[in-house]
Amino acid sequence: MFKIDLKPRTGIDKIQLGMTKDELRKIEIESGILFEKKYFGCLRVCYDDEGLLNFIEIANPYSDLFKVFFEDIDIFNTKAEELVEFISKFGNYDRENDDSKFGYQYVFKDIGLSLWRPNVFKKEYLDEIWFQNYSMELQEDEMKYWYFQSVSIAVDGYWG
């Protein structure tokens, strides 16, 4: 297993915001692997109109092959509420956004970081009849949503 360090407004691992496609390709060649294969297809990058990398997303929290860290906190193995509270020490998230109100996505524009999950799970759901009626397998599946599934970083102004 290897550790991937996330630095908002800077980069993820060796991939840096502001790089060109050629610079990213050079890093891939020098390292002898394609980042997409190293991260098992869970990496997504976007470029601005000038061809500079302005957005990096990494997903796949269930991998046993890597862990993603921000300030020594494991992004995909820290419960969502705890992670939001921790990251809030570094910047504010958009509290008016419906996705954050419901717990799906938190965009920390101040530091250029976003967290996302497709569904939400809360401790109180453990006592709900609908949850208790689920099979153990389904319960385990639902409890994955205690955690975020994706983390993104972007350049200043990317999220408006």
Mean pLDDT over 66-84 rounds to 93
Question: What's the total number of domains in the chain?
Answer: 1
Domain coverage including residue 105: 2-154
State the average pLDDT for the chain.
88
Note whether residue 133 is domain-resident: yes
Mean pLDDT over 78-83 rounds to 96
Q: How many CA atoms lie within 13 A of 16 on its CB side?
A: 9
Mean pLDDT over 6-25 rounds to 90
Task: Say if CB 66 and CB 3 are below 8 A apart.
Answer: yes
Instruction: State what percent of residues in the chain have pLDDT above 90.
Output: 66
Token code pair at residue 80: 């969502």
Give the pLDDT band (50/70/90) at residue 34. low
Note whether residue 37 is domain-resident: yes
Long-range CB contact pairs, 39-44, < 8 A, 24+: 39/4, 39/66, 40/65, 43/12, 43/15
The confidence score (pLDDT) of residue 139 equals 95
| Gap between the Cα atoms of 126 and 111, Å rounded | 34
pLDDT at 93 over 80: yes
* Predicted structure pTM score: 0.87
Task: Say if CB 9 and CB 155 are below 8 A apart.
Answer: yes
Within 96-157, where are the H helices? 98-102, 129-132, 136-143
